Amino acid sequence: MTMPARVVGEEKVKIKKSFVKPWMGIKYLFKKPVTIKIPFEKIEPAPKYRGFHTLDWKKCVGCNFCGQICPARAIEMTWLEVDGKMEKRPHPKVDYGRCTFCQFCVDVCPTGALGFTEAYYLSTGGSEEDLELFNWVPIHPDKVRELNEKFGDYRFPVEKIEKKADGTYVYHLRDGSTIEFKILGYGIRPPKKPTPTKPTAKTAEKKETKPAEKKENVKQAEKKEGA
């Protein structure tokens, strides 16, 4: 059924001006204000509000769909080394200086590794060290949820990102725990040569032998897939 266009003219649209009516607004003086008194009152973001990302590192297959769909090119694939082992696939690193929070990356993720939480609050000072916070590899969703339940203020789960000279990153979470890993390189293809790791003596020796072999394996596997 199609409704016909009903055109109405002057008789309904026009109104009369009044000198008295504007004073009726005074009644609002006796009403409760709608202003929310931040920080004494809180506003909760809606459930499934598009906030910061989360990433299940185990599920991520490094397909770079997120990097391809990203309208702001905020995502770059990063090769990580955790506890001396290189992750088999690259993981997305999100730059919140660019991110538009459209969450298309979450939509396209084929394994559901990338997700998001309602946490949206991140403000820092202007120093180089502080700005590191805006460029992170998202952490596990359970950890972010846990932190948010503990503090309940929807802030960024990481308090400080410590960057060491050899490419090691230490995430100091808000509850005092840390996540440590090393960034080996960027891009879809694995880094050519693992930069020789020279951190504290004992672990480094172990690292140098094992990961090097593994990386070669990965490279070969990649080549096979590519061919």
Partner 1 sequence: MAVNDNKVETVEKAEEKKPELPNTKEGNLVRELLEKAPYAEGSVRREKRIEFRVPAERIHEFLELASETFEMLMQISVVDWLKENEFELVYQLWSVSESVHAFVKTRVPRENAKLPTVMDIWPVAETYEREAHEFFGIVFEGNPRLGPFILEPREYEKHPLRKDFNTLSYVKTIYGEDFDRYDESKTNYVI
Partner 2 sequence: MANLEVPKELREEARKHDMYLTPISKDTYELFFGPQHMATENFSIILKMDGNRIERAIVNPGFLHRGFEKLAEQRPYFTNIALILRICVPESDVPENIYSMAVDEIMGWEVPERAIWIRTTVLEMARLSAWMFWIMGFGNEIGLYTAGQWAAAYRERLMRLFEELTGGRVYHIYTVPGGVRRDIPGDRWLRQLRDTVEYIKSKLKDFDEILFDNYIMFERTEGVGVMDKRFALKHAVTGPNLRAVGVPYDVRKDDPYYLYPELDFEVPVLKEGDSLARVLVRRYEIEQDLYILEQLLDMGPPSGPYMVQDPKLKNLPRFKVPAGDAYAHVESTKGDFGVYMVSNGTHKPYRVHFRGPSQSHGVTVLEELLKGARLADVPVILKTLDNCPPDIDR
Binding site for partner 2 (CB under 8 A): 1-3, 5-10, 12-19, 21-22, 24-25, 28, 34, 45-50, 65, 68-72, 100-104, 107-108
Residue entry with tokens 């026009």 = 14
Contact between residue 91 and residue 81 where contact means Cβ atoms under 8 Å apart: no
Handedness of CA 188, 193, 194, 199 (dihedral sign): negative
Q: Which of 50, 61, 69, 76 binds partner 1 (CB under 8 A)?
A: 76
Q: Which of 42, 73, 150, 223 binds partner 1 (CB under 8 A)?
A: 73
Rank residues 32 and 202 by Cβ distance to partner 2 and give the closer one. 32
Look at residue 185 and give the partner it binds from partner 2, partner 1, none, a contact being a CB closer than 5 to 8 Å depending on partner kind: partner 1
Residues ≥6 apart with Cβ < 8 Å to 121: 153, 154, 155, 156
12 binds, among partner 2, partner 1, none (CB under 5 to 8 A by kind): partner 2
Per CB under 8 A, does 71 bind partner 1?
no
- Strands 114-116 and 53-55, by their bridges, are antiparallel
Sign of CA dihedral 90, 92, 95, 98: positive
**Which chain residues interact with partner 1 by CB under 8 A?**
68, 73, 76-77, 95, 185-189
